[in-house]
Structure 1
Amino acid sequence: MTVLFVDQPAQLDELCAQLAGSQWLAVDTEFLREKTYYPQLCLIQVANESVIACVDPLALSNLDPLLDLFYHPDTTLVFHAARQDLELLYMLRGELPQKIFDTQLAATMLGYGDQTGYASMVKTLLDVDLDKAHSRTDWKQRPLSDAQLEYAADDVRYLRDIYLIMLESLTKQARLTWLEEDFSALSRSETYQSDPAFIWRKIRGAGKLKGIQLAVLEKLAIWREQQAIQRNRPRRWIIKDEIMLDLARFMPTSMEKLSRIRGYEARDIERDGTEILQQIAKAIETPEAEWPIMKKPVPLTNQQEALIDALMALLRKYSDECSVTPSAIASRKDIERLVRGEDDLPLQQGWRNEVVGHYLTDFLNGKLKLMADHQHILIEQG
């Protein structure tokens, strides 16, 4: 099938006429983010049963005809690992399509594994080896070669077939509804929004700080996020995490003391030093009652760790029996929360509870006994 390259408004209108009325559209994107805060969209690949196209957003000033199709309430958008593609759509329109199918999530319901890559899925389901020659392509460069366009088109060429295979399997096994909540989460705007007030928690090493040091880290993290957005540069280009931690740890109060922070370059101090000192001063003035707190869970006992291991064994056993990837049901963190006595976990709701969750609860309540026969785990009613 010929791959259409669309870089003129008239071509886009013609493509959209061909795609109009599709029940589903396979979609992928190519973008760059190494030097920017926001991803820069470089190519959109789209396909239905009869058309494959690569649309050039660098040449087209108005993508609305295509986006109108993507956002049509009767059209399902099919992605593999949808998060980053949807983030781009959210950036373009400020809202998200409401009908999503993610083949990477669907793979977990069919026992293909967790975080399964696209190439692996194509090989498993279609016995096709994808060409990886252009995996490091700079998608901003123009013109794109025919080989690059074919490589990009493969990301939707086979996605169509994978989607139809998975849809049939999920329908036969009555598992399509199991994915509704996970797909719905992909269509919620809060999934792609981060609260700057809590971004300090994501800085590796923050747990080693305490008291006023955390207040400094919080102020610096908020400032850095704002600057990264304003300058459209990666956070690490504003200040690296390790420098942020040292600034919070030592709380310098002058340019001379700033220069003692290991790795903090003179040019960066000259550019941002005054504002950094202002943020540190604000944090130092923060009343103790307003200091952020890094909550650390009480360490698990050896017996609790053993119990978690037993529950993980049960999780794997029942997941294997119904050909579902265990991580689609619960992670070890989820099991740990269960052992700590938390209620209302996803594991205890809906299909997850039906497939596995209630067995784990029964085991915790002494209603099931765990045994083995050298080759298999055996379960006996308590």
Structure 2
Amino acid sequence: MGGAASSTDNFEPVFREKDDGKRTTEVHQFRAHGNTTIQAVYTNEMSTVESILDMYLEWLKEERYRFVGLDLEYNFRKEKLRCEDNIYPLRKFLKNKDVTFVGVDIRTDHKLLYKQWLYIPPGKHLDLQDMLKILGYGNRAGMASMATMASELIHPKYAGMKEKFVTDYDKFEGHNYWEWKPLSDMNLEYASIDGYVTYELACIVTIVNQGLHPQRPLIPSWDNNERKRRRGHDN
């Protein structure tokens, strides 16, 4: 049985159990834009989290800037982040001084991480709105949103990406369903693209700001296989 299709601020859907109670690891693939695809691992198994983070660290050794896109999503009531499992591997990863985490309008994210004893070293959690001053309508007065930056610097497809992510109570998807498990395909795709775009923007902005590699195209267009071959190209 589904809920009403309309959305109100005071309505919380309760037509399905919020958690299926299963230990789950799923691998999904989404198309970001053009030929660029993203492989996403959806899991609540700490052994999987640890192996994936170890894999990231190996990849990052070959990256010049070692950026990782980081974003938090909140439950229906916008309550604080909840960590119910032993998340030592994630805590260790966030404290790694060789990694730089990037996001958009990170002030609230940073506070919520801190409340859960998830610490990122000073100077290792950067805000794209500070790195690139593009005027627009974003979370800060006069600053562009991630969608605006992504549509200008990566691909026009990303314009209005947040406006297209609409809660649907019949399908159990959208912003009101981040704490539900399993997540809908739409939520998984949105989160995956969000992380990819954040990473890509950080690389582009850094290249432009530092004036590096003038012969390299401004807008990367490689897919995942090409990215693997290109790792270490800048070293």
> Shorter-chain-normalised TM-score: which range?
0.5 to 0.7
Is the contact made by 1:78 and 1:102 (CA closer than 8 Å) also made in structure 2?
yes
Question: Which residue in the other structure is 2:108 paired with?
Answer: 84
TM-score between the two structures when normalised by the length of structure 2: 0.58
For residue 167 of structure 1, report the CA deviation from its aligned partner: 0.5
Is the contact made by 2:67 and 2:202 (CA closer than 8 Å) also made in structure 1?
no
CA distance in 2, matches of 1:115, 1:137: 26
For residue 112 of structure 1, report the CA deviation from its aligned partner: 3.7
Unaligned stretches of 5+ in structure 2?
1-37, 61-65, 137-141, 168-173, 213-235
Is the contact made by 1:33 and 1:40 (CA closer than 8 Å) also made in structure 2?
no
Question: Which residue in the other structure is 1:132 paired with?
Answer: 165
CA distance in 2, matches of 1:94, 1:121: 28
Equivalent pairs counted in the alignment come to 152
Question: Which residue in the other structure is 2:216 paired with?
Answer: none
Is the contact made by 1:103 and 1:163 (CA closer than 8 Å) also made in structure 2?
yes
For residue 128 of structure 1, report the CA deviation from its aligned partner: 2.2
Which structure 2 residues correspond to residues 252-271 of structure 1 after superposition, within 5 A?
Answer: none
For residue 35 of structure 1, report the CA deviation from its aligned partner: 6.6
Which structure carries more helix by proportion?
Answer: 1
Question: Which residue in the other structure is 2:95 paired with?
Answer: 71
CA distance in 1, matches of 2:153, 2:78: 36
Unaligned stretches of 5+ in structure 1?
42-56, 174-382
SS in 2 for 1:168: helix
Question: Which residue in the other structure is 1:107 paired with?
Answer: 132
For residue 32 of structure 1, report the CA deviation from its aligned partner: 2.9
Is the contact made by 2:74 and 2:81 (CA closer than 8 Å) also made in structure 1?
yes
> Residue deviations 1:233-289, cap 9 Å, x none?
xxxxxxxxxxxxxxxxxxxxxxxxxxxxxxxxxxxxxxxxxxxxxxxxxxxxxxxxx
For residue 160 of structure 1, report the CA deviation from its aligned partner: 1.3
Is the contact made by 1:28 and 1:85 (CA closer than 8 Å) also made in structure 2?
yes
- Within the candidate set 202, 207, 229, 1:163 is matched to 202
| Letter in structure 2 aligned against 1:100 | H
Question: Which residue in the other structure is 1:32 paired with?
Answer: 75
Q: 1:73 to 1:151 in 2, by over 3 A?
A: same
Q: 1:170 to 1:5 in 2, by over 3 A?
A: same
C-alpha RMSD of matched pairs (Å):
2.3
Task: Look at both structures and tell me which one has the larger radius of gyration over its CA atoms.
Answer: 1
Question: Which residue in the other structure is 1:18 paired with?
Answer: 55
| Letter in structure 2 aligned against 1:107 | L
For residue 93 of structure 1, report the CA deviation from its aligned partner: 1.4
CA distance in 1, matches of 2:118, 2:47: 26
TM-score between the two structures when normalised by the length of structure 1: 0.37
For residue 94 of structure 1, report the CA deviation from its aligned partner: 6.6
CA distance in 2, matches of 1:171, 1:104: 17
CA distance in 2, matches of 1:3, 1:153: 6
CA distance in 2, matches of 1:95, 1:136: 26
Q: Relative contact order: is structure 1 or structure 2 higher (C-alpha 8 Å, sep ≥ 6)?
A: 2
Which structure 2 residues correspond to residues 314-353 of structure 1 after superposition, within 5 A?
Answer: none
For residue 24 of structure 1, report the CA deviation from its aligned partner: 2.1
For residue 125 of structure 1, report the CA deviation from its aligned partner: 1.4
Is the contact made by 2:106 and 2:127 (CA closer than 8 Å) also made in structure 1?
yes
| Letter in structure 2 aligned against 1:27 | L
